[in-house]
């Protein structure tokens, strides 16, 4: 899912507010209870859900449903079925025509079966229920009424869309509402014939009866997580993206656009086919589902949501900004998050990190020839920038992967962010393992775990098997440990000795819960008339002094121009080197970092160098403008000071 | 591995553990030895992450052929040619690092590339030009000499002091010591097939892993002076499980043509093999059946070797055991070593077929092997036998393991100084590991538990495993969510301590139970979460209730028809917790006699040790006396009698006669304890008791009882009975049990005339454990004749047996003679192995500090 992006100011406020909370988040002090969230048991395997939904009147916000859940006990014979059913009116529960005793407290439906169900033997639980959806909360089922004065028919008519992530699908059907369960799904929805209905998988039929109402029959016959089941009902212009370039009748691509915006949307989503082709090749895995629909819906609470084969978009998300990034993000989810699902919300980054990393992969692929690396680097650098205010530390703050959270929603927003930090982790792994091994590992991961829920450890193990590298330390420091390394690097050239002296210090909080990072920081050293060369600064303690013998006086020493290490560096080196890096830095990241350093300087040569590169790169220009008044570091000094 | 005397191995050696640098600047994890404080998660000085991470796997090793030539078994030197087949992983291989400790390396060549190599005494670093491609196996041939290695390969020479004991070699690879005799990636996450071709002087037998492919006699000189044994292990196993044994043995095969099961015992002990090892085949069928997995290897050999550092070591298909692990008829009346046999056999699946991926997961080896002992006891003695073992494991954990994260490491933790530390931590991978498996069985039910272990084997056989692998399979098979269970029991240290208040409310006819967790609770150590079973007997009817506990304090109320006669908390050991239960004593009486399980009856016997009343004493005596009662209840009753100071009752029990040796031994131990603690025993009564104890020390038919009585003489300071003790030091017995008990007693009694005896027994010609005990006795008695004591111990630093020189070094520290500093310095100077050097240096520093202080 893409959330609306928060502005930096809001983030900062959130961070400050939470930094003041000194209470240990891992425990409830009164009872001593752990606050960690562990997944619920899976006493039954949920094999299939069939929902017969009747919508008598789209303007009435009420529906009735007959749900058939195909279950099989796991492990041992069982009699009690515990299900989530939030705010639904349960009318009956039956097995084979026999009514079953049940308790429903408004949230949990506990069914006491009339006999033990042996393990691995499937049976159908038939549940009749009614739902009333007067409030459009953006969670579960959002039922928006028509707005009479709207220009588009789509907005003038009522519309339903659902949003299951993280645990909201139990607000419109009865389910095991946790991602550790995968099932196939089938929706039969009867509604006035004016409306289209879309759900996961493929459309088996849409038959109109004598009463003028149509029953839409959708089937997702590949197992997916409960939270990915989707229902959209509304009046749309359905546009096929299958133009002359798309020769795959087995994989229809459609956009559900607001009526009147069909052509615009077809254009907006025009790259979808190319993206699918690219990611299929990169992952060596065909697009997993029967179709790919992208639905632009009303009143959507988030940015976009990667339901299997049917992504929903916020209208606003499609109107401006880098829409391709959003499209690529949700598309990559169809593999990461949907095909490879994660077992718990702690492992969310395996979806969101990959989807965000996918934005960079698409930018890299889509760039003009010769610009690929720069495009990729820009995307990665922006993820680093998004983590700049991450001054969190253990145990007060949860790491990227942590089951300590107040509610699953907060996982999407936390400082050790599954999107931006997740993408950085994947980028670092790519740098560390090399493209061949990294993507080979990715492919093997998909092969091994498709249609199975994974944990972060599974990903590590696959990468270890493919590379031979021991990655536990990497995962501990980047994935488990909160925060980001901040490294001051002082570079000094000793002309007499022919030695580059490097003093480096990690300045983030280091204590018994927060060890120093183990880093190998690349320094790209360039000379007057030679090719540049890399040397590596190995660092696993708070401070380090290291000297490198060099053949000549370097013109520049560029610290980690490829962002091999997602660290915030503060480099001390001669002004001439900064100017050299601004003008001739080997990557856009090097040039951007030089611009960041030079922009606030009150120095004529700096100003003139900056003026000299003005207009060469909009990306660099923006950084210069943002830093002209004062350095970002000094803007953030107040926050960081708290944590040192 | 099972350790008899963990102190001898653990803590002996110190090593600079190597920093695992971040990737490509890391030319190798072994480039520089960096001393890191690994006592916690972070080195406070530098901020460095002090956890132990596995090394990188530079290459995938496929096969090793090791050719060894031993010209003379009495000259500790062999020549070796190693052929390693391996393949680059992921990317072409420029550089390979192999662990190789104090070898004399002569040459290295590779079939696919030019090589250059360096060797620093710890590791060989080989560079390849061009880099070795992926997907194409390369062959590396290394020739070297093994010259009396300080560890890993233990070479016992023949000695005039012990006539008839031929020279012998055995190896010990766990945790990372096989690299003392062959270069390898010495970490458990790598597996390869191996082949050993060993040439020895005629008359010696060679054993290794797998099957004997060929055996030839070299008659080229016409004297058949050399024989060559060619062993092949064609299923991949980790380097630490490679074994080599060369010696002269009685070999008795207790197996079948389909599965040979030779037992190698010291010459002359062949006739005792059947009595000691006769049930090995039955154990194999038991485990094969329970886990639905055939015994994995070509044969199952059990080999008894001299000077073994621990109890047993589960090398694939060829377990090594200590020298006295064979029992004659006299010893068999006292004991069996089937627990040990079952443990090492269990490892052939758990540890060998599935191997811990790094040392913090050692419980996947040791916990299972220990648990398989329980299963054997269950097979022999049913539920009582099983519960008795389970209780012993619970107790061992509860007594040591504290819920103090992060200051103490959990059972599965990367915090350790040395790999062998993980075997000996308070959160014990043996006892706690077995207890966790037992709890899982209770949680999942027998059928699902065994099915999930079988699934774990199916999924991971011939692979290395992490703790999560077991959890995930169990979750899949059972449908249960086990992450919290594994977090709190495996990752966190400690166990819950529970105060259980049981109140009967007569008016409401309710039983109110309040459970309070009293161990420290904080963010690192949140309250434990578990289901606590409560067994209630009311008016002749039994019912089982469950309390879900997840907070510091949990309350439950049970509506009953009448006041219950018994309320047994956790009678089947579902929860590894220290229980402190508050309820009326009458319920304890009822539970003692009619508790639903052995556990509940033992619990009652134990609790009654805190209820001083004539009625209690009477009931405890009655139980202690009752031969139909399980040994464990009887022994616990005696312990409670001792706690209540009832020496007279205990003496009465002993005098009346106790047929069972174990119970008799317990009675003597408890009687001694009661007499020791109670100063008011009338003299004549005490005299009688001393006489009886002395009589048992002299001529009980059981050596176990005799040893206990000898110790009792010492604890009771019966110095005038020391002739019995001295006589014991001259008496042969199983495991030298009497001799060692005598030595210990002499030390406790501070008997000056014990010094000469100890000095004699510390010399060559005795079992190494006896020698170590004798050295400890010398240290204890040294104050009677400091010079003589020092002069006898100092030369033992140069003894070939590490148990002996280790004990001698420790004794020098203990004795505090200033000359010891120099002796230890000289000794440290003479050894080649930096780990050994550091260990000796550590003793030296302690002694120096003591001398100066």
What's the N-to-C CA distance of chain B in angstroms? 39
pLDDT band at A244 (very low <50, low <70, confident <90, very high): low
- Do A431 and A554 fall within a single domain? no
State the pLDDT at residue B27: 34
pLDDT band at A6 (very low <50, low <70, confident <90, very high): very low
- Do A418 and A528 fall within a single domain? no
- Do A143 and A209 fall within a single domain? yes
Q: Taking CB atoms and an 8 Å cutoff, what residues of chain B touch A44? A: 479
For residues B453-467, average pLDDT:
98
Least Cα separation, residue B8 to chain A (angstroms): 32
Q: Which of A238-242, A257-261, B92-96, B716-720 has the lowest mean pLDDT?
A: A238-242
B22/B32 Cα distance (integer angstroms): 14
- Do A492 and A470 fall within a single domain? no
State the pLDDT at residue A16: 44
pLDDT in tens, B232-256: 999 999 999 999 999 999 999 999 9
State the pLDDT at residue A317: 85
pLDDT in tens, B405-434: 999 999 999 999 999 999 999 999 999 999
State the pLDDT at residue B240: 98
Length of chain B: 853
Q: Which of A24, A31, A520 sits opposite B24 (nearest CB)?
A: A520
pLDDT in tens, A563-611: 999 999 999 999 999 999 999 999 999 999 999 999 999 999 999 999 9
For residues B568-593, average pLDDT:
97
Q: Which residues contact B113 (CB under 8 A, 6 or more apart)?
A: B128, B129, B130, B131, B132, B138
User: Considering only alpha carbons, which residue of chain A is nearest residue B60?
Assistant: A468
Q: What is the CATH number of the domain that holds A576?
A: 2.60.40.1840
Spatial contact of B762 and B799, defined as CB atoms under 8 Å apart:
no
- Residue A272: inside a domain, yes or no? no
B112/B142 Cα distance (integer angstroms): 14
Q: What is the CATH number of the domain that holds A144?
A: 2.60.40.1730
Q: Taking CB atoms and an 8 Å cutoff, what residues of chain B touch A439? A: none
- Do A52 and A177 fall within a single domain? yes
User: Considering only alpha carbons, which residue of chain B is nearest residue A441?
Assistant: B90
State the pLDDT at residue B679: 82
* pTM of the model as a whole: 0.95
pLDDT band at A249 (very low <50, low <70, confident <90, very high): confident
State the pLDDT at residue B292: 98
pLDDT in tens, B177-211: 999 999 999 999 999 999 999 999 999 999 999 99
- Residue A155: inside a domain, yes or no? yes
Residue B743's alpha-carbon distances to A366, B640, B689, B772, B781, in angstroms, are 83, 29, 23, 10, 11
ipTM of the complex: 0.95
B364/B386 Cα distance (integer angstroms): 20
State the pLDDT at residue B256: 96
B224/B220 Cα distance (integer angstroms): 7
A179/A347 Cα distance (integer angstroms): 10
Strands across the sheet with B77-88, in order?
Answer: B104-110, B138-147, B77-88, B59-69, B191-201, B226-238, B211-218
pLDDT in tens, B361-383: 999 999 999 999 999 999 999 99
State the pLDDT at residue B3: 62
Strand locations in A442-498 (E): 453-454, 486-494
Length of chain A: 644
pLDDT band at A4 (very low <50, low <70, confident <90, very high): low
Least Cα separation, residue A621 to chain B (angstroms): 34
Instruction: Please provide the average confidence, as pLDDT, over all residues in chain A.
Output: 93
Phi, psi values for residue A126, rounded to 5°? -105, 120
- Do A100 and A72 fall within a single domain? yes
What number of other Cβ atoms are within 10 A of residue B87's Cβ?
17
Label residue B508 exposed, middle or buried (CB < 10 Å: 0-12, 13-18, 19+). exposed
Which of B28, B47, B413 is most worth mutating to test chain A (most A CB atoms within 10 A of its CB)? B47
pLDDT tops 80 at residue A414: yes
pLDDT tops 60 at residue A465: yes
**Percent with pLDDT over 70 in chain A:** 94
Prior bond of A203 cis (ω within 30°): no
Label residue B25 exposed, middle or buried (CB < 10 Å: 0-12, 13-18, 19+). middle
Q: Could you tell me which of B697, B736, B737, B692 has the C-alpha nearest to residue B714?
A: B697
State the pLDDT at residue B218: 83
B246/B206 Cα distance (integer angstroms): 5
- Do A473 and A600 fall within a single domain? no
Number of compact structural domains in chain A: 3
- Residue A410: inside a domain, yes or no? yes
- Do A509 and A600 fall within a single domain? yes
State the pLDDT at residue A600: 94
Q: Taking CB atoms and an 8 Å cutoff, what residues of chain A touch B483? A: 38-39, 344, 403
- Residue A288: inside a domain, yes or no? no
Which of A75, A119, A182 is most worth mutating to test chain B (most B CB atoms within 10 A of its CB)? A75
- Residue A280: inside a domain, yes or no? no
pLDDT band at A23 (very low <50, low <70, confident <90, very high): confident
Q: Which of B47, B54, B57 sits opposite A510 (nearest CB)?
A: B47
CB-CB under 8 Å, B480 with A515: no
For residues A243-251, average pLDDT:
80
Spatial contact of B457 and B293, defined as CB atoms under 8 Å apart:
yes
Least Cα separation, residue A75 to chain B (angstroms): 4
Q: Taking CB atoms and an 8 Å cutoff, what residues of chain B touch A473? A: 20, 22, 49, 51, 53
Instruction: Please provide the average confidence, as pLDDT, over all residues in chain B.
Output: 94
A174/A165 Cα distance (integer angstroms): 15
- Do A98 and A227 fall within a single domain? yes
- Residue A359: inside a domain, yes or no? yes
A454/A449 Cα distance (integer angstroms): 7
Residue written as tokens 């089938």? A186
Which of A472, A507, A522, A567 is most worth mutating to test chain B (most B CB atoms within 10 A of its CB)? A472
What number of other Cβ atoms are within 10 A of residue B829's Cβ?
9
CB-CB under 8 Å, B47 with A542: yes
Q: Is the dihedral of CA A110, A113, A117, A121 positive or negative?
A: negative
Domain boundary among A480, A515, A538: A480
Q: Taking CB atoms and an 8 Å cutoff, what residues of chain A touch B20? A: 470, 473, 518
> What b/e readout covers B242-254, taking b as 16+ CB neighbours within 10 angstroms?
bbbbbbbbbebeb
Phi, psi values for residue B26, rounded to 5°? -85, 95
For residues B534-541, average pLDDT:
92
**Percent with pLDDT over 90 in chain B:** 92
β-strand partners of B353: none
B530/B655 Cα distance (integer angstroms): 46
State the pLDDT at residue A381: 96
Quote the tokens at residue B189: 């996450």
Quote the tokens at residue A56: 């008598």
- Residue A571: inside a domain, yes or no? yes
β-strand partners of B556: B513
Domain boundary among A437, A458, A480: A480
- Do A19 and A106 fall within a single domain? no
Least Cα separation, residue A564 to chain B (angstroms): 11
Q: Which of A267-271, A535-539, A634-638, B847-851 has the lowest mean pLDDT?
A: A634-638
Q: Which range of residues forms the domain containing residue A537?
A: 486-643
B481/B474 Cα distance (integer angstroms): 9
Q: What is the CATH number of the domain that holds A446?
A: 1.10.390.10
Which of A116, A433, A469 is most worth mutating to test chain B (most B CB atoms within 10 A of its CB)? A469
DSSP run (H or E) holding B449: helix B446-460
pLDDT in tens, B591-628: 999 999 999 999 999 999 999 999 999 999 999 999 99
- Residue A334: inside a domain, yes or no? no
Q: Taking CB atoms and an 8 Å cutoff, what residues of chain B touch A27? A: 521-523, 526
Domain boundary among A421, A448, A480: A480
pLDDT tops 50 at residue B32: no
For residues B316-327, average pLDDT:
97
- Do A224 and A304 fall within a single domain? yes
Q: Which of A14-23, A125-134, B782-791 has the lowest mean pLDDT?
A: A14-23
pLDDT band at B24 (very low <50, low <70, confident <90, very high): very low
Quote the tokens at residue B807: 């004990």
- Do A471 and A497 fall within a single domain? no
């Amino acid at each position: 899912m893409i959330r609306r992006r928060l502005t930096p100011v809001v983030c900062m406020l959130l961070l400050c507010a939470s930094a003041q909370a000194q209470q240990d988040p891992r425990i409830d002090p009164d009872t001593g209870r752990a606050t960690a969230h562990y997944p619920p048991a899976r006493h039954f395997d949920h094999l299939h859900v069939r929902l017969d939904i009747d919508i008598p009147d789209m303007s009435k916000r009420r529906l009735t449903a007959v749900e058939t859940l195909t279950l099989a006990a796991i492990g041992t014979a069982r009699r009690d079925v515990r299900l989530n059913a939030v705010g639904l009116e349960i009318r009956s529960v039956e097995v084979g025509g026999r009514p079953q005793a049940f308790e429903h407290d408004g949230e949990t439906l506990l069914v006491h079966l009339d006999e033990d169900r042996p393990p691995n033997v499937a049976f159908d639980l038939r549940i009749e229920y009614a739902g009333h959806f007067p409030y459009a909360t953006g969670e579960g089922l959002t039922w928006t009424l028509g707005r009479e004065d709207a220009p588009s028919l789509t907005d003038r008519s009522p519309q339903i869309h659902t949003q299951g992530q993280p645990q909201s699908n139990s607000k419109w059907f009865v389910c095991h509402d946790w991602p550790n369960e995968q099932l196939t799904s089938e929706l039969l929805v009867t509604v006035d014939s004016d409306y289209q209905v879309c759900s996961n998988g493929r459309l088996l039929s849409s038959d109109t009866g004598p009463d003028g109402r149509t029953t839409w029959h959708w089937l997702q016959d590949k197992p997916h997580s409960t939270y990915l089941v989707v229902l959209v009902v509304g009046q749309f212009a359905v546009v096929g993206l299958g133009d002359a370039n798309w020769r795959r009748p087995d994989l229809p691509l459609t956009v559900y656009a607001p009526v009147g915006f069909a052509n615009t949307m077809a254009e907006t989503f025009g790259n979808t086919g190319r993206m699918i082709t690219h990611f299929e090749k990169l992952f060596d895995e065909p697009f997993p589902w029967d179709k790919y629909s992208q639905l632009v819906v009303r009143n959507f609470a988030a940015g976009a949501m990667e339901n299997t084969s049917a992504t929903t978009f916020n209208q606003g998300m499609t109107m401006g900004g880098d829409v391709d990034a959003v499209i690529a993000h949700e598309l990559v989810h169809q593999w990461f998050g949907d095909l490879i699902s994660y077992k718990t919300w702690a492992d969310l980054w395996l979806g969101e990190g990959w989807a965000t990393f996918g934005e960079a992969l698409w930018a890299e692929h889509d760039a003009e020839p010769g610009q690929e690396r720069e495009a990729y680097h820009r995307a990665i650098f922006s993820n680093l920038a998004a983590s700049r205010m991450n001054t969190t530390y253990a145990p007060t703050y949860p790491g990227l992967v942590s089951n300590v959270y107040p509610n699953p929603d907060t996982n999407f927003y936390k400082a050790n962010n599954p999107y931006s930090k997740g993408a950085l982790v994947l980028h670092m792994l790519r740098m560390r393992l090399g493209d061949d091994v990294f993507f080979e590992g990715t492919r093997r991961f998909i092969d091994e775990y498709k249609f199975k829920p994974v944990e972060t450890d599974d990903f590590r193990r696959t990468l270890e098997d493919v590379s031979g590298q021991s990655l536990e330390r990497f995962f501990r420091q980047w994935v488990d440990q909160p925060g980001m390394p901040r490294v001051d690097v002082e570079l000094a050239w000793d002309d007499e000795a022919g030695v580059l002296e490097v003093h480096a210090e990690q300045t983030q909080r280091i204590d018994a819960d927060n060890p120093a990072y183990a880093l190998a920081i690349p320094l790209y050293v360039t000379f007057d008339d030679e090719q540049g060369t890399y040397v590596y600064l190995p660092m696993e303690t708070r401070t380090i002094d290291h000297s490198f013998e060099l053949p000549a006086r370097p013109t520049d020493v560029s610290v980690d121009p490829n962002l091999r290490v997602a660290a915030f560096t503060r480099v001390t080196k001669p002004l001439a080197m900064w100017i050299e890096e601004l003008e001739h830095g080997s990557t856009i990241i090097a040039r951007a970092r030089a611009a960041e350093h030079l922009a606030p300087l009150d120095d004529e040569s700096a100003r003139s160098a900056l003026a000299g590169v003005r207009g060469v790169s909009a990306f660099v220009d923006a950084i210069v403008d943002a830093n002209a008044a004062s350095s970002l570091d000094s803007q953030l000094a107040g926050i960081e000071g708290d944590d040192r | 591995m099972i350790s008899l005397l963990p102190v001898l191995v653990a803590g002996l050696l110190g090593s600079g553990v190597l920093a695992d640098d971040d990737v490509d600047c890391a030319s190798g994890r072994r480039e520089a030895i960096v001393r890191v404080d690994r006592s916690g998660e972070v080195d406070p000085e530098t901020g460095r992450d002090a956890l132990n991470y596995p090394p990188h796997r530079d290459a995938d090793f496929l096969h090793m052929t090791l050719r060894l030539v031993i010209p003379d078994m009495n000259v500790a030197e062999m020549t070796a040619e190693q052929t390693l087949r391996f393949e680059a992983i992921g990317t072409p291989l420029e550089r390979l690092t192999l662990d190789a400790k104090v070898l004399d390396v002569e040459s290295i060549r590779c079939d696919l590339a030019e090589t250059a190599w360096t060797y620093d005494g710890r590791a060989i670093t080989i560079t390849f030009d061009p880099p070795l491609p992926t997907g194409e196996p390369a062959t590396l041939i290394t020739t070297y000499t093994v010259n009396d290695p300080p560890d890993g390969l233990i070479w016992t020479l023949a000695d005039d002091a012990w006539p008839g004991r031929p020279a012998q070699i055995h190896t010990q690879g766990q945790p990372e010591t096989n690299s003392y005799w062959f270069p390898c990636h010495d970490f458990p996450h790598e597996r390869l097939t191996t082949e050993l071709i060993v040439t020895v002087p005629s008359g010696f037998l060679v054993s290794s892993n797998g099957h004997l492919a060929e055996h030839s006699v070299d008659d080229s000189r016409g004297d058949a002076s050399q024989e060559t044994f060619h062993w092949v292990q064609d299923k991949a196993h980790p380097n630490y499980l490679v074994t080599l044994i060369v010696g002269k043995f009685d070999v008795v095969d207790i197996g079948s043509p389909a599965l040979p099961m030779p037992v190698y015992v010291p010459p002359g002990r062949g006739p005792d093999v059947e009595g000691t090892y006769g049930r090995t085949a039955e154990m194999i069928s038991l485990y094969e059946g329970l886990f639905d997995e055939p015994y994995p290897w070509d044969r199952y050999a059990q080999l008894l070797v001299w000077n073994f550092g621990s109890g047993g070591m589960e090398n694939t298909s060829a377990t090594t055991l200590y020298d006295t692990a064979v029992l004659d008829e006299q010893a068999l009346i006292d004991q069996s070593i089937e627990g040990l046999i079952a443990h090492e056999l269990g490892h052939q699946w758990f540890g060998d077929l599935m191997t811990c991926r790094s040392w913090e997961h050692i419980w996947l080896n040791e916990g299972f092997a220990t648990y398989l002992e329980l299963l054997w006891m269950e097979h022999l003695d049913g539920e009582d036998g099983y519960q008795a073992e389970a209780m012993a494991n619970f107790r061992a954990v509860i007594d040591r393991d504290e819920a103090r994260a992060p200051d103490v490491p959990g059972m599965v933790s990367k915090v350790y100084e040395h790999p062998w530390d993980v075997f000996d931590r308070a959160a014990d991978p043996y006892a706690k590991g077995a207890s966790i498996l037992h709890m899982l069985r209770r949680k999942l039910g027998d059928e699902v538990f065994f099915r999930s272990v079988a699934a774990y084997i199916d999924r991971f056989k011939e692979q290395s495993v992490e703790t999560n692998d077991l959890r995930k399979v169990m979750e899949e098979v059972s449908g249960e969510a086990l992450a919290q269970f594994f977090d709190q029991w495996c990752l966190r240290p400690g166990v819950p301590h529970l105060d259980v208040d049981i109140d009967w409310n007569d008016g409401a006819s309710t039983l109110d139970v309040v459970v309070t967790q009293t161990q420290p609770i904080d963010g690192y150590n949140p309250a434990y979460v578990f289901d606590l079973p409560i067994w209630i007997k009311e008016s002749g009817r039994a019912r089982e209730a469950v309390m879900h506990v997840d907070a510091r304090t949990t309350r439950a109320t049970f509506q009953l028809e009448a006041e219950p006669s018994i309320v047994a908390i956790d009678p089947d050991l579902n929860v590894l917790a220290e229980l402190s239960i508050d309820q009326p004593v009458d319920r304890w009486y009822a539970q003692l006699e009619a508790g639903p399980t052995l556990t509940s009856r033992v619990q009652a016997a134990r609790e009654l040790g805190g209820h001083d009343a004539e009625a209690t004493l009477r009931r405890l005596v009655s139980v202690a006396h009752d031969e139909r009662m399980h040994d464990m209840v009887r022994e616990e009753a005696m312990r409670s009698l001792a706690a209540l100071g009832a020496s007279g009752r205990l003496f009465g029990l002993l005098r009346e006669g106790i047929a069972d040796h174990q119970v008799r031994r317990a009675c003597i131990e408890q009687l001694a304890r009661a007499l020791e603690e109670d100063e008011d025993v009338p003299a004549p009564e005490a005299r009688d008791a001393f006489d009886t104890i002395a009589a048992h020390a002299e001529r009980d038919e059981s050596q176990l009882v005799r040893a206990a009585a000898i110790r009792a003489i010492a604890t009771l300071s019966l110095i005038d009975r020391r002739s019995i003790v001295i006589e014991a030091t001259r008496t042969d017995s199983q495991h030298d049990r009497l001799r060692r008990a005598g030595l210990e007693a002499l030390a406790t009694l501070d008997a000056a005339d014990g010094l000469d005896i100890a000095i004699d027994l510390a010399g060559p010609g005795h079992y190494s454990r006896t020698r170590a005990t004798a050295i400890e006795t010398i240290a204890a008695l040294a104050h009677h004749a400091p010079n003589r004591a020092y002069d006898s111990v100092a030369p033992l630093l140069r003894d070939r047996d590490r148990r002996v020189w280790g004990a001698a070094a420790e004794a020098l520290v203990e004795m505090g003679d200033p000359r010891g500093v120099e002796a230890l310095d000289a000794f440290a100077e003479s050894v080649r192995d930096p780990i050994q050097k550091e260990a000796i240096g550590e003793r030296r520093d302690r002694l120096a500090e003591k001398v100066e202080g």
